Structure 1
Amino acid sequence: MISKEKKELSEADIKAKFITPALVNAGWDEMTQIRREVTLTPGPVVVRGNLSSRNKKKKKFADYVLQKEKGVPVAVVEAKQNNYTVSHGLQQALGYAGILEVPCAFSSNGDGFASHDKTAHPGEDIETEFALEAFPSPDELWRRYKHFRGILDEQEALVTEPYYDDGSNKEPRYYQAEAINRVVEKVAQGQKRLLLVMATGTGKTYTTFQIIWRLWKAKKVRRILFLVDRNILVDQTLVNDFKPFGSVMTKIKNRKIDPSYEVYLGLYQALTGPDEEDKIFKTVSRDFFDLIVIDECHRGSANDDSAWKEILEYFNGAIQLGLTATPKETKYASNINYFGEPIYTYSLKQGIQDGFLAPYKVVRIDIDKDIHGWTPPPGMKDDLGNEIEHREYSQADMDRILVLNKRTKLVAQRVMKLMTATDPYQKTIIFCEDIDHAERMRMAIVNAAGSLAKENSKYVMRITGDSLEGKAELDNFIDPESRYPVIATTSELLTTGVDTKTCKLIVLDKSVNSMTTFKQIVGRGTRIEESQNKYFFTIMDFKRATELFKDPEFDGEPVVIYEPDEDDDPVPPDPNPDEDGEGGDGDDDDGIKKVYVSGVEVCILSERVEYLGEDGKMVMESYRDYSRKNILKEFTSLDDFLQKWSSAKKKTAIIEALAEYGIELPKLAQDVGKDYGDFDLICHIAFDQPALTRHERANNVKKRNYFTHYGDQARAVLEALLDKYADEGVASIENNSVLKLAPFNRMGTPVEIINGIFGGKANYEQAVQALESELFTQAN
């Protein structure tokens, strides 16, 4: 193919005609080893006000990922059109290679390849260029990968053991594959104490299943024990991720270990206890289990007096893998001390930036008696007629020692005010101090919810360890298809492990003294559930927990500070752009005698809102401000925008380009005005131009007698298109399907209109473009 013709080919043509054949000719299997158009990350969710959208500009998308086996990537290839140089895409490919942690990255424009090789020996060139026919073979790139990852020849069989494949072509996400491969590689290298740190919502159980499956299928391990501390975790795992193990898997129950199985799922409480006869793990030999996986290992396995530690030490010859969403605990106990440094960490911050986890906004609410404290007048009595101790009660005392009934009522009202203003059926968890507090909060929510609670008695349920009725509703609460219960009040039961995919609101009216507990609570909301329109969640904090527990490296910073008065709208508004702007399966009460007081008035001192930026840092901007900033990335000036808008064959191309940043103009219109068209929204928001409504623009065209040089039939069509623009916007008139609708369908079929009235498609499209030019002649 001559050079001129080649330069006119699209990127897709370059891949099909040159790059893919070169890979196949080098020995790469097109069906099993070449993955094309691989989405590595979907791009972060942008949250401003009560709106959210994806920033697809930050989506990471590799043209080719070459793999030794499914889930074992070894190299990345980036393709470019032929009017770019061979190495133009190499930096981009290196970025993807860094994500996948592979040593080789390649770029091609169809003329040849540019290569970056991290395994190059001293004195050798790291980056080179070579002909299409010289692309490295699978054996060569696998040799480089093994060298890069420290894999010996005798370890290769285990490292390449296939993933479980259910036939759905499901691929592990890049970080899941890396976590799985890291563990398998370390086991192959003889390491026996392993720690994985993966934020809640990132698929730890699926990752664990694939690890166990590959080690089990390779006969590296025969008997496996998966230890958890909540019964619901065992049940969820049995019927979901671990289901492929089928008949070789069992749940340890009735305080007996049946030796006829190979995969055992169990509560550590079911294996041990305070008395020697409770320690049923000792009924099997110390070498009975080859692999022990400890879920949520931050919950005590590192403590010398831990029941889990006792089990781990008994089976100390087994490979032991700890899983946690918390990289470390306190100075007194650290999972790192037992397992060693994590072999892989995937943080909440990274998950949010990649777009796999939901970002969050924090609504912090300060109540006067919490902040200033409360001292009862001398001789004041509580609701039971007992004299109240004369001292100052602080925020730490609220609902643990001192119960101000009006405070509980105020919290419930504030929660329901927010829910009513946004979505009264959004799944909500309210974390309380103890069971008593959870029950009082349930009653207060019922009263604050009014008709919503009357509609269904399960609108709010107390789900605590002592409540059979509440625990019976847990499956319904976490089921995305079940509306009720909507709100769960709890203390400890829902802090970990419960897969609440659709939870959109987490309320903290609980003193949290542990970073571990705080991370687990926040983890209840981090899952994205697109089918339920769940892209972000809100933390409503009445106890200042979100100020005390900041771990920016792992969690990122939350995302404008809003301090309304008591009667102001509870929904965090966009700022004015003109202004400067831990526990067991039950929730145990601690037995402290409480003081109940009904007559003390309380009020909200302040309320402020923070939004988590897509870069993990705190930002102070509205959806309007966010849109302005990113429009200016696409268009350097008003003249630049007007020129590109005017020259665009279809204006929807510009609208789609802005959508890549997460700018959805219909959402922006909610802030500026729903009657403004896309053109005026952009001009007004980004360039401070006066805005005209769509009807005003359409009327201006009519006043100029623009249609007089068209025949009667063509004029009727164009006038109808103008009316359609006034009603629906520019996208509606650029789609030829509009000609199937009224009033056009009374003028003829689309073919009759385009060919019969306008003399062909080219003439019709030219007439539409001329109409648009007339509509947008001026920016004001």
Structure 2
Amino acid sequence: MRATFEKVLVCESKNEPARVLLSLATGSRKTVIAANLLWRLHEAGRLGKPALFLCDRDELREQAYEKLSKAFPKGSVRIVKAEKGRNLAKNAKVHIATYQTLGLDGEAQDEASFLTNYYPENAFSVIIIDECHRSAWGRWSEVLKRNPDAIHIGLTATQRQLREGKKQTAADAEIKANNLKYFGEPVYEYTLIQAQEDGYLAACEIVRLQPSIDLKIYTCAEVTAAKPIDARTGKAIAEEEIKDQYTADRYDHGLILPERIAAMCADLFKRLCEHGGPEQKVIIFCNRDLHADRVQIQMQNLYVQWCKDKGITAKEHYAFKCTAEGGSERIETFRGSGERCFIACTVDLLATGVDIERLNAVVFFRYLESSITFYQMVGRGTRIHEETQKYKFWLYDYTGVTALFGTDFITKPHKPRKDKSGGGDGDDDDDGKHRPPLPELMNGEKVSIIPQGRFILQRREGRDVPIPLDEYRQEMISRVLREAATLHDFRGLWVETEKRRKLINHLLGEHYSPDTVRELMDMADCDHFDLFAHFGYREKALKRVEREDAFLEQQIPWFASMDDKAAIVVRGIGQQFGVGGTDALESSELWNVPEIRRVGGFDALRTLGKPAEVMREAKVRLFGV
């Protein structure tokens, strides 16, 4: 927030328009930050005129209203809408609107709109544009051009450069062609990898897979010989209606392959069963509406059979389709319930605007070219969910889309569309009048899924790069071994608070996250000490509670040699390690634990010598079991 205010003051001191860009990873609570920015501006007396929070989805509008309403007094925040010829938000301090509400979702530039009818020029003191990278597609610039004196703040996870189109005015080009050009460089950037390393967003394990059939190219002759049917109607397709060839990026979009769909769904279901069970929250991004239909049916059938084999009752709506054609009514259940609606099969309806904190996996059965869309889709899984202990998520890539990590956010101009329910169905060959046949092959070809490796994201040379998990772990461990060649040396380093923190900070500074590796190696119950000891020095990794129990058992003679109060404190050190690991031993809260504080805490150790040296010895014994 400070960076935002500094930029505003600098612009005002130079008598320049105040334009600010914040680039924050999806899931890092941009709306909460916006609420705090507006509240601070209000407290500073800078909201003499109303503020406008502008977004492009109904879901984003509702989320903004929820967050902003908590920051301001009741009635100060209103959603913009007309009723009986008047604007219901007229007297509010903060107005929340979508482009559609303001009448800015069409192409006609000269038509009157809600914006021009209800708001004069320079009606706002501050305008916050949510997801401003995506907003460049429409007429959102009309709001900015009518309010040149307002502070303009753009929020984005992917600052977007737009290749210029042929049909645009010079004024539109100035605003729409390049977010960076309009707002300037971001005053603050917080990347996905930074947020993961800080523990603010969930760690991500990338699993790359490839259907064996994707190595094949189908020619017109091969498709014709297989006697394809129209996937929509079931009717035969004539040769002249078949394209010259079909490559993997068109499978299950331009050419439906049931065996491919079945193999991918079976592989995914097996992986879910192996990592947490099938009843976990998952989004599967499909190529088109019909593809989502087929995937939903396959996943539902696999689950019903699994329940039958286990002798348990299947839960309702295990897999459901959620596209522009329907299913959006199940989104809230998908977000909140742990008893139904587990697998959402979509195209792009859930790509943005929906916070799903408990999401365990993001799955790509879909090919993509847009890095912006890709990052937004990945962002669905990045949120941490404390209640279900979700600190990591799986990214299953069946189509090679994770190659988009680290690519530039430059896209072609997008023609505004008349949107249905805020998301498309992927059927871009349907003009509403004539739908060409969609070939489906029933040739019984066997399809297998080929593993391509496990990966973790790392920042290298300013870009997000998927690194093989084993390589990442080995490189991190090699840096630890440079500091401590033997387990004895490492233990001596670890018990010294400053040396330990220096080591961790050094790893983080080189973009190696021990927390992330611990999560992805299924060692969340282990301390960092055991992570490093296991992979660096081939020691058996103990869980925190296992190390606590071993310490309390092996050190009974040592406890017996102390007075009762000192023994209670030292045993308490082992017990607190079992709860919070090494960090718990280096926190001042250790001495506020009731049983430790009751016997004198730190001072109780003086009967054994200098308390700091006793603490060090306790740690050496703890990490020596």
Q: Taking structure 1 as reference, are residues 499 and 181 closer, same or farther at Cα in structure 2, changes over 3 Å only? A: farther
1:586: which partner in 2? 423
Q: Distance in 1 between matches of 2:36 and 2:498?
A: 42
Report what 2:29 is aligned to: 203
User: Are the aligned partners of 2:3 and 2:188 in contact in 1 as well (CA < 8 Å)?
Assistant: no
Q: 1:609 to 1:691 in 2, by over 3 A?
A: closer
1:268 Cα deviation from its structure 2 partner = 0.8
User: Could you say which residue in structure 2 is the equivalent of 1:426?
Assistant: 280
Cα shift at 1:500: 2.0
Q: CA deviation at 1:620?
A: 4.0
Question: Which residue does 1:106 correspond to in 2?
Answer: none
Q: CA deviation at 1:178?
A: 2.8
1:19 aligned residue = none
1:501-545 deviation per Cα after TM superposition (whole angstroms, max 9, x unaligned): 222311112222222212211221222334432323222122222
2:338 corresponds to 1:475: no
Give 1:446 shift. 0.7
SS at match of 1:250: strand
* Change in CA separation of 1:329 and 1:219 when aligned onto 2, cut-off 3 Å: closer
Aligned partner of residue 488 in structure 1, secondary structure: strand
The alignment status of 1:415 with 2:245, answered yes or no, reads: no
* d(CA) in 2 for partners of 1:776, 1:214: 48
- Pair 1:345–1:395, CA change in 2 (3 A): farther
Q: Which residue of 2 aligns with 1:386?
A: 236
Task: Please say if 1:261 is aligned against 2:91.
Answer: yes
| Counterpart-to-counterpart distance in 2, 1:471 and 1:604 | 31
Does structure 1 conserve the Cα–Cα contact (< 8 Å) formed by 2:371 and 2:408?
A: no
What is the CA–CA distance in structure 1 between the aligned matches of 2:453 and 2:371, rounded to whole Å? 22
Distance 1:772 1:486, change over 3 A: closer
| 2:32 is equivalent to residue 229 of structure 1 | no
Contact 2:133 2:179 in 1 (8 A): no
Structure 2 residue corresponding to 1:635, chosen from 469, 472, 484: 484
Aligned counterpart in structure 2 of residue 461 of structure 1, from 314, 320, 324: 320
Pick from 135, 140, 144 the counterpart of residue 308 of structure 1: 140
- Judging changes above 3 Å, is the alpha-carbon distance between structure 1 residues 627 and 530 closer, same or farther for their aligned structure 2 residues? farther
Show the counterpart of 2:117: 283
- Find the counterpart in structure 2 of residue 127 from structure 1: none
* Structure 1 contact 180–208 (Cα < 8 Å) conserved: no
Q: For the Cα contact (< 8 Å) 2:122–2:146, is it kept in 1?
A: no
* TM-score w.r.t. length of structure 1: 0.56
Aligned mate of 1:519, from 353, 375, 381: 375
One of 363, 369, 380 as aligned partner of 1:507: 363
1:742-761 correspondence runs (5 A): none
Change (3 A) 1:410 1:330: farther
Could you tell me how far apart the structure 1 residues matched to 2:541 and 2:120 are? Answer: 77
Paired residue for 2:592?
Answer: none
Within the candidate set 423, 431, 446, 2:300 is matched to 446
The partner residue of 2:200 within 353, 356, 359 is 356
498-507 vs 191-200, which moves further: 191-200
Aligned partner (choices 11, 20, 28) of residue 194 of structure 1: 20
Task: Report SS of the residue matched to 1:246.
Answer: coil
Cα deviations by residue, 1:680-706 (Å, 9 ceiling, x for unpaired)? 9977753468999x99xx9xx99xxx9
Residue of structure 1 aligned with 2:133, choices 278, 285, 298: 298
The 3 A distance-change label for structure 1 pair 264 and 597 is same
Determine what percentage of the aligned residue pairs are the same residue. Answer: 26
In structure 2, what residue type is equivalent to 1:320?
A: H
* Bigger Cα displacement from structure 2, 404-413 vs 242-251: 242-251
In structure 1, list runs of 5 or more residues that go unmatched.
1-175, 555-581, 716-720, 736-749, 751-759
**Shift in Å, 1:300:** 4.1
Asked whether the equivalents of residues 286 and 317 of structure 1 are also in contact (C-alpha less than 8 Å), the reply is no
User: Helix, strand or coil: the match of 2:481?
Assistant: helix
Q: Corresponding residue for 1:141?
A: none
Q: Which amino acid aligns with 1:686?
A: G
Partners of 1:643 and 1:193 lie apart in 2 by: 52
Inter-CA distance 601–640: structure 2 relative to 1 (3 Å threshold): closer
1:488 aligned to 324, 335, 344, which one? 344
Give the structure 2 partner of residue 366 of structure 1.
Answer: 210
Could you say which structure has the larger radius of gyration?
1
Given candidates 654, 679, 686, the residue that maps to 2:536 is 686
Q: Secondary structure in 1 aligned to 2:455?
A: strand
Q: Which deviations, in whole Å up to 9, do the C-alpha atoms of 1:73-114 show, x marking residues without a partner?
A: xxxxxxxxxxxxxxxxxxxxxxxxxxxxxxxxxxxxxxxxxx
Cα distance change of structure 1 residues 223 and 241 upon mapping to structure 2, 3 Å threshold: closer
Contact 1:678–1:730, Cα closer than 8 Å, also in 2: no
Amino acid corresponding to residue 298 of structure 2 in structure 1? A
Contact 2:55 2:130 in 1 (8 A): yes
Deviations 1:561-583 (A, max 9, x none): xxxxxxxxxxxxxxxxxxxxx98
How far off its partner does 1:655 sit?
A: 10
- What amino acid is the match of 1:474? I
Change (3 A) 1:539 1:639: closer
Is 1:182 the counterpart of 2:182? The answer is no
Structure-2 change in CA distance of 1:454 and 1:191 (3 Å): farther
Q: Which residue of 2 aligns with 1:612?
A: 457
- Give per-residue Cα distances to partners, 1:228-264, cap 9 Å, x unaligned: 1111111111122343253132212347661632322
C-alpha change, 1:684 and 1:538, in structure 2 (3 Å) is closer
- The answer as to whether partners of 1:406 and 1:600 remain within 8 angstroms in 2 is yes
Does residue 331 (structure 1) correspond to residue 163 (structure 2)? The answer is yes
Cα distance in structure 1, aligned partners of 2:529 and 2:60: 52
Instruction: Name the residue aligned to 1:145.
Output: none
> For 2:541 and 2:393, how far apart are their aligned partners in 1?
34
- Once the 2 structures are TM-superposed, how far is the Cα of residue 639 of structure 1 from its aligned partner? 5.2
Output the CA distance in 1 between the equivalents of 2:161 and 2:55.
18
Q: Measure the CA separation in 2 of the matches of 1:486 and 1:540.
A: 16
The residue number in structure 2 matching 1:128 is none
* Aligned-residue offset at 1:729: 12
Aligned residue for 1:249? 77
Q: Match for residue 4 of structure 1?
A: none
CA-based RMSD of the aligned residues comes to: 5.3
Report how far residue 408 of structure 1 moved. Answer: 1.4
Structure having greater relative contact order (Cα 8 Å, sep ≥ 6): 2
Q: 1:397 to 1:621 in 2, by over 3 A?
A: closer
Query: In 2 relative to 1, CA 500–761 (structure 1 residues): closer, same or farther, beyond 3 Å?
Result: same
Amino acid at match of 2:115: F
Q: Within 1, Cα distance between the matches of 2:141 and 2:529?
A: 64
**1:340–1:288 CA distance, 2 compared to 1 (3 A):** closer
Q: For 1:165-176, what aligned pairs fall within 5 Å after superposition? A: 176=1
- Quick check: 1:198–1:346 contact (8 Å CA) kept in 2? yes
Distance 1:597 1:212 in 2: 56
Q: Do the aligned partners of 1:329 and 1:516 also contact (CA within 8 Å) in 2?
A: no
Indicate if the aligned counterparts of 1:271 and 1:278 stay in contact, CA closer than 8 A: no
In the alignment, is the contact (CA less than 8 A) between 1:252 and 1:266 conserved in 2? yes
The equivalent of 2:65 in structure 1 is 238
Q: Which runs of 5+ in 2 are unaligned?
A: 165-175, 411-415, 508-512, 562-566, 582-595, 597-605
Aligned length: 527
Q: Please tell me whether the aligned partners of residues 329 and 515 of structure 1 are also in contact (alpha carbons under 8 angstroms).
A: no
What do the CA deviations read for 1:612-659 (whole angstroms, capped 9, x no partner)? 2477655445497477436535533355357779xx7xx999999999
Question: CA shift at 1:422, angstroms?
Answer: 0.9
CA contact (8 A) 1:205 1:237 kept: yes
Label 1:490 to 1:317 Cα distance change in 2 as closer, same or farther (>3 A): same
Contact 1:408 1:441 in 2 (8 A): yes
Give the Cα–Cα distance (whole angstroms) in 2 for the partners of residues 776 and 285 of structure 1.
67
Q: Distance in 1 between matches of 2:52 and 2:37?
A: 13
CA distance in 2, matches of 1:677, 1:309: 51
C-alpha change, 1:421 and 1:776, in structure 2 (3 Å) is closer
Contact 1:678 1:729 in 2 (8 A): no
